[in-house]
Amino acid sequence: MELDHVGIAVGKLDDAVPRWRPAVGGADVPYEEVGGQGVRVAFLSAGPVEVELLEPTRPDSPVGRFLAARGEGLHHLAFRVPSVDAALAELVRRGDRVVDRTGRAGARGRRVGFAHPSAFGGVLVEFVERP
Ligand code: CO
């Protein structure tokens, strides 16, 4: 598995993007609302890996609840896999918990799926399948 991006929960993209852009470089980045997840995201390029900034669009969304409980900070690591469905199925097969049983539509038209943090020592892990 190759590291694809690092997800960071933020209160406001308008505050976080200018703070992160000098560190990771890159030009203006578009914001994208991820349908159904109650989150807006911006990806900043950092070499072969990206930084994904996540802003909740409503307090009862997963990222909104994360912010309320823990504040801004590291939210998840995302790994590129050939098949999100196969990666999730492998976790289920070995008895680990998953957030998503199968892949779903993520940002930028990519198929994504989340493991439960208990599967990776308390770290929320996302699988990403690039088209
Ligand atoms: Co992500």
| Tens digits of residue pLDDT in 36-66 | 889 999 999 888 899 999 999 999 999 999 9
Higher pLDDT, residue 84 or 108: 84
Report helix, strand or coil for 119: helix
* Cα of 51 from ligand 1 centre, angstroms: 9
Residues 36, 126, 88, CA angle at the centre, nearest 5°? 95
* Cα of 95 from ligand 1 centre, angstroms: 23
What pLDDT shows up at residue 131?
79
What pLDDT shows up at residue 6?
97
* Cα of 72 from ligand 1 centre, angstroms: 15
- Local confidence band at 27 (pLDDT 50, 70, 90 cut-offs): low
* Cα of 11 from ligand 1 centre, angstroms: 16
What pLDDT shows up at residue 114?
97
The pair of three-digit structure tokens given for residue 17, joined into one six-digit string:
């993007």
49, 8 in Cβ contact below 8 A? no
Torsion of CA 104, 119, 73, 60, to 10 degrees: 50
Residues 84, 2, 101, CA angle at the centre, nearest 5°? 20
Strand partners, 7: 52, 76
* Cα of 55 from ligand 1 centre, angstroms: 12
- The CA distance from 126 to 122, in Å, is 13
For 4-21, what is the mean pLDDT?
Answer: 94
